[in-house]
Amino acid sequence: MQNILTVDVEDWYQGNARIPYQDAWRFESRIEKSVDQVLGILDEYETQATFFILGHLAESHGQVVKQIQNHGHEIATHGYSHQLIFKQKPAEFAEELYRSIALCEDLTGRAVMGHRASNWSVTSQSLWALDLLKKAGLRYDSSVYPVRTGYFGISGRSREPHILDNGLIEVPPSTVSVANYTIPFAGGFFLRTLPYGLVEWAVRRVNAEGHPAVVYLHPWELDQDQPKNLPVPFIDQFIHYHNLDTTEAKLRRLCSQFSFGTVMETIAL
Ligand SMILES: [Zn+2]
What does the pLDDT profile of the chain (269 residues) look like in tens digits? 999 999 999 999 999 989 988 888 899 999 999 999 999 999 999 999 999 999 999 999 999 999 999 999 999 999 999 999 999 999 999 999 999 999 999 999 999 999 999 999 999 999 999 999 999 999 999 999 999 988 899 999 999 999 999 999 999 999 999 998 999 999 999 999 999 999 999 999 999 999 999 999 999 999 999 999 999 999 999 999 999 999 999 999 999 999 999 999 999 75
* pLDDT confidence of residue 169: 98
End-to-end CA distance of the chain: 17
- Per-residue burial over 64-88, b if 16 or more Cβ lie within 10 Å, else e, is bbeebbebebbbbbbbbbbbbbbeb
Q: Ligand 1 centroid vs 118 CA: distance in angstroms? A: 5
Ligand 1 centroid to Cα of residue 12, in Å, is: 10
Q: What is the span of the domain harbouring residue 124?
A: 2-267
Distance 257 CA to ligand 1 centre (A): 26
Give residue 269's pLDDT. Answer: 56
CATH code: domain of residue 74: 3.20.20.370
Distance 81 CA to ligand 1 centre (A): 10
Ligand 1 center–CA 186 separation, angstroms: 15
What's the CA-to-centroid distance between 91 and ligand 1, angstroms? Answer: 21
What is the structure's pLDDT at 263? 98
User: How many Å lie between the centroid of ligand 1 and the Cα of residue 17?
Assistant: 9
The Cα 73–Cα 38 span in angstroms is 12
Q: Is the CB of residue 196 less than 8 Å from the CB of residue 249?
A: yes
**Total of domains in the chain:** 1
Distance 8 CA to ligand 1 centre (A): 6
Four-CA torsion 99, 100, 102, 103, nearest 10 degrees: 110
Q: Ligand 1 centroid vs 179 CA: distance in angstroms?
A: 30
Output the pTM of the full model.
Answer: 0.97
